[in-house]
Amino acid sequence: MQTIKPNILIISNMGAKPSAPFQGKFVHNQVWALAPLNPAYHYMRWHSDSLLNKFLKYPVFLLDFIWRFLLSRRRFDIVHVHYFYPTIYLALLYRALRNRRLKIVVTCHGSDIYLYQRPAKLYRYCATKVDQWIFASSALRKQFSLPVKRAVVLSAGIAELYGQSEPLSWQQKSIDLLYVGSLDVNKGMDRLLTILPELADKKVVIAGSGPMLSALQHAARQFPNVLVVGPKDSNALKQLYRQARCFISLSRHEAFGLVMAEAMASYTPVIATATDGAAEQLQHDVNGYVVSQHNDEQQICSGLLNAINELFQSPQQYHAMQLAAWRSAQPYLLSNIARQLQQLYQELADE
């Protein structure tokens, strides 16, 4: 019997805005990787930093969904929701009005669980309507306290181009420490500002945007070894990853941390604070170093500096760590993630 491909709609409440031009890009990339399935895609297209947007973005998101999908002739069998709450309401609305047999898949990315550790009744009710859960890491799965019908651990995936470069030796690289991502307190930018005076002999490159951008730019004017380059596209990031001797992640909370996987796919070891994402990806002293967060901020910053010094004192072991980093990132390439998602969708459709 011929297998019928399900009609799939992917929904994400993440979209680019001026302060975060690449926000939600990983979901976009996953949609592109699933192109053989011809999925429809609904994401928060009207997104800015204005106060008006803060109050109206979800009403506009809902009205756009009603116009483009509830009133469309195309009928979907599966809705895949990225970021569980409150995005789940769109999937439930579609099930109620268009397809009572709709299967709902949810990918949890972190704060949709971290911010709801004492879930209210509506949150718990919505959770009972999900057919398939996907968690970005095993540790994030453990954080979710509600019962689930079925669940898998699967990252959003990283672009293939990050795994398509040859490794550079320690001597060939020109950047000592690289950070890529949002420039905010959760990502530990205050910690980075604290340790910068101790890194005067190392070239530090910071790529990204966010509320702490101006503070980091001010620090860069004080320290000539620090370069703040702003947000970069995938091709530019690939070159930064390749040129970096080390990638640093200072996050307080991190469900997975795709940038760590991107760096490791580019043969760059990672130094990271202990988060769910670091636990999922890093083996201490194998493909990087993990710094405990069960201390005060001064001790955490000291731990980061100690890890940096340890890595930089052992160039003879660096090549082995590069290879270990590259191997550990291979399961997270988009081709592998897309293949697993297609199988998951088909199993749900066949039920």
Question: Which neighbouring-strand residues pair with 79?
Answer: 9, 104
Q: Which residue has the tokens 């999925």?
A: 39
b or e along 263-283 (b: 16 or more beta carbons within 10 Å of the residue's beta carbon)? bbbbbbbbbbbbbbbbebbbe
Please report which confidence band the pLDDT of residue 1 belongs to, taking 50, 70 and 90 as the band edges.
very low
Instruction: Examine the domain organization and report whether 187 and 313 are in the same domain.
Output: yes
- Given a cut of 70, whether residue 78 has pLDDT beyond it is yes
Three-class SS of residue 343?
Answer: helix
Percent of the chain clearing pLDDT 90 (strictly above)? 84
d(CA 136, CA 117): 17
In a domain, 16, yes or no: yes
Q: Are 105 and 343 in contact (CB under 8 A)?
A: no
**257 conformational bin, left if phi > 0, alpha if psi -120 to 50, beta if neither:** left
In a domain, 2, yes or no: no
**pTM listed for this prediction:** 0.90
Which structural domain range is residue 43 located in?
Answer: 8-157+333-350
Instruction: Examine the domain organization and report whether 119 and 203 are in the same domain.
Output: no
Instruction: Examine the domain organization and report whether 29 and 113 are in the same domain.
Output: yes
Q: For the segment 21-52, what is each residue's pLDDT rounded down to a tens digit?
A: 778 888 999 999 999 999 999 999 888 888 88
> Which whole number is the average pLDDT over 250-278?
96
The total domain count for the chain is 2
Query: Which residue type, as a one-letter code, is found at position 217?
Result: Q
In a domain, 75, yes or no: yes
Q: How far is CA 11 from CA 27, 28, 80, 199, 342, in A?
A: 9, 10, 6, 42, 16
Instruction: Examine the domain organization and report whether 232 and 268 are in the same domain.
Output: yes
In a domain, 1, yes or no: no
- Given a cut of 60, whether residue 200 has pLDDT beyond it is yes
Instruction: Examine the domain organization and report whether 173 and 139 are in the same domain.
Output: no
Instruction: Examine the domain organization and report whether 195 and 126 are in the same domain.
Output: no
Instruction: Examine the domain organization and report whether 246 and 312 are in the same domain.
Output: yes
Instruction: Examine the domain organization and report whether 46 and 174 are in the same domain.
Output: no
Q: For the segment 125-175, what is each residue's pLDDT rounded down to a tens digit?
A: 999 999 999 999 998 999 999 999 899 999 989 999 998 888 999 999 999
Tell me, what's the pLDDT at 2? 55
CATH code (residue 60): 3.40.50.2000
